[in-house]
């Protein structure tokens, strides 16, 4: 079964937003990147808070972890675009409304 394991949010102030999630929900900080991005976890899902870098604030993409038996190529045939991101996922696709979805068998942020 495929399940959401990662969510990326764009923010003009990633540190402020990360502190909000840490203080409000008790999420754990996994890392702070030199770029200013912050990675948090609620214990189940990795949340990356990224600088806007000219993009609008809000949800940027989400990541779906696939079982090894799932066929990422087959799943991505149903999507508008298929690209290897080379960063944290093997494939990136768009759903019919244009939302970005990263597909990964290996998982996100060293989680399995």
3-class DSSP state for residue 23?
Answer: helix
Number of domains within the chain: 1
In a domain, 111, yes or no: no
pLDDT band, very low/low/confident/very high, at 88 (cuts 50, 70, 90):
low
- The Cα 103–Cα 93 span in angstroms is 8
C-alpha distances (whole Å) from 14 to each of 25, 90, 110 are: 16, 25, 22
For position 57, what pLDDT does the model report? 94
Its domain, for residue 42, covers 3-104
For position 110, what pLDDT does the model report? 52
In a domain, 81, yes or no: yes
Inform me whether the pLDDT recorded for 84 exceeds 60.
no
In a domain, 110, yes or no: no
Average pLDDT, the chain: 82
In tens, the pLDDT along 36-69 reads: 999 999 999 999 999 998 989 999 998 888 877 6
In a domain, 109, yes or no: no
Q: What is the CATH number of the domain that holds 18?
A: 3.10.180.10
Residue 93 or 27, more confident: 27
In a domain, 47, yes or no: yes
Inform me whether the pLDDT recorded for 5 exceeds 80.
yes
């Amino acid at each position: 079964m495929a399940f959401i394991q990662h969510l990326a949010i764009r923010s003009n102030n990633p540190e402020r937003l990360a502190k909000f999630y840490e203080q409000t929900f008790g999420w754990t900080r996994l890392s702070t990147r030199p770029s200013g991005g912050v990675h948090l976890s609620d214990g189940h899902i990795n949340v990356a808070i990224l600088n806007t870098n000219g993009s609008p604030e809000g949800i940027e993409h989400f990541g779906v972890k696939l079982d090894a038996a799932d066929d990422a190529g087959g799943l991505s045939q149903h999507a508008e675009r298929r690209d290897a991101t080379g960063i944290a996922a093997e494939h990136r696709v768009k759903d019919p409304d244009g939302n970005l979805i990263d597909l990964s068998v290996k998982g996100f942020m060293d989680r399995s």
